[in-house]
Amino acid sequence: MPIHQTTSYVFEDSDAAAAYFNLQEYGNTYSRIMNPTVAAFEERVANLEGGAGAVAFASGLAAQSAALFTLLQPGDHVVASSALYGGTVTQFKHLLRKLSVELDFVDINQPSAWQGAIKNNTKLFFGETIGNPSGSVMDIQAIADIAHAAKIPLMVDNTFATPYLCRPLDWGADIVVHSATKFLGGHGTSLGGVVVESGEFDWSNGRFPIIEAPSPAYHGLKFHETFGTFGFLMKLRCETLRDLGACMSPFNAFLLAQGIETLPLRMQRHMDNTAKMLEFLCGHDAVAWVRHPNLADHPGHELAKRMMPRGAGSIIVFGLKGGRDAGRTFIESVELASHLANVGDAKTLVIHPASTTHSHISAEAMIEGGLSDDMIRLSVGLEDFDDIKADFEMGFRAAAKFTKTKD
């Protein structure tokens, strides 16, 4: 696949240029809005997720915020799962409220809570297939049914599962977002995000004048009436991406697209190593607790088996006997595993969420999201499992002094 490392494009003539800018014909105008390499990446992700199309962005949070900007306006209301990535919680609690959008967090495992949170101005349900880092599993079909009965779309972050393990659109979701930085790319080299839409939600149901009515930002164009199945995606690209400017670079699109070519091989290896790691951790004397949907004692175990028969992702959370001090010593003592703020890498990664990725959210939000002070988040990599195991044993030995102190 070629890299179209260009900012802009030579037009055939004045009429062609005008037709492209007026959306009378589809063509490349400027790489902030569209680029052939980025388009190839978008098409690959849309096909994997079974969507009508996709729009790529500079990061996962950029993709998410753009999707929100496209369908929300001041005075609207969002219902979201309380078990979300810390960056998403902050984006929702502060950015949306700064824009006068109301917000309610609800228990992901309580469909009645979602139903009870609906207001006349509710415009979106939002959750994660697998909660980051709590490991909670979203019953997408049940939540989608509630949303659709009220003519509300469901947006799902599918970063942890990837379309190899779960396709939210198949279970009733309307919009899927990814941090392509993670498993889609798979190598920790490139930031990126992407929004996929099913093309099946009725944006002209009377609740979304921002998409249905003439757009003052695009000379009165009615996006849903004009583009039908692609109405939301066209507005997302031609207005929101154009105006926010958080476009994906062609080079990053190239690298992420290369990663997608090995996605099924990598995800299966992630799952194989995760199964071995769960057995190892659950049987180790240094480990106080382990949480993962593949384990029979997980609240979402049966749901995960139904929605994700190949496995519920390679993110494991666990705590060590000896608490926070033991966990910190463990993280500082491993050598093969990398201590950094990412997941979905070919390399095994570890981090302490309470002091890093989720340090900026309140204690109450930590509890609601299923986090604890002693939690370690583990992203299981592709290395030989014996090497991962030996590395962890070294970390456990270093942390043993705190275990003895606690005992």
pLDDT in tens, 126-174: 999 999 888 999 999 999 999 999 999 999 999 999 999 999 999 999 9
pLDDT value at position 36? 97
pLDDT value at position 364? 67
Provide Rg for the chain, Cα atoms: 22
Q: Are 195 and 63 in contact (CB under 8 A)?
A: yes
What percent of the chain lies above the pLDDT cut of 90? 84
- CATH number for the domain running over 14-259: 3.40.640.10
Taking only the tens place, the pLDDT of each residue in 311-343 is 999 999 999 998 888 888 999 999 999 999 899
pLDDT: is 124 or 87 the higher one?
A: 124
Cβ neighbors of 2 (< 8 A, separation 6 or more) are: 36, 37
Torsion region of 188: left, alpha or beta (phi above 0 gives left; psi -120 to 50 gives alpha): left
Q: What does the mean pLDDT of the chain come to?
A: 93
CB atoms within 10 A of CB 281: 21
In sequence order, the β-bridge partners of residue 128 are 157
pLDDT value at position 27? 87
Specify the amino acid at residue 200.
E
pLDDT value at position 323? 85
Taking only the tens place, the pLDDT of each residue in 243-268 is 999 999 999 999 999 999 999 999 99
Architecture of domain 264-406: Alpha-Beta Complex (3.90)
- Over residues 229-237, the mean pLDDT reads 97
Nearest residue to 290 via CA among 277, 305, 302: 277
> To 5 degrees, how large is the angle CA 99–CA 356–CA 256?
75
Specify the amino acid at residue 100.
S
Buried b (16+ CB within 10 A) or exposed e, 360-399: ebeeebbebbbbbebbbbbbbbbbebeebbebbeebbebb
Residue 391 has pLDDT above 90, yes or no: yes
pLDDT band per the 50, 70, 90 thresholds, residue 374: confident
Of 58-67, 88-97, 175-184, the one with minimum mean pLDDT is: 88-97
Same fold, 14-259 and 264-406: no
Nearest residue to 253 via CA among 90, 59, 94, 397: 59
pLDDT value at position 24? 86
Q: Are 281 and 321 in contact (CB under 8 A)?
A: no
Q: How far is CA 165 from the centre of its chain?
A: 14
Q: Where are the domains of the chain?
A: 14-259, 264-406
Q: Which pTM was predicted?
A: 0.94
Element (H, E) at 193: strand 193-197
pLDDT value at position 407? 47
Residue 142: C-alpha distances to residues 49, 83, 84, 128, 135 (Å): 19, 17, 18, 14, 18
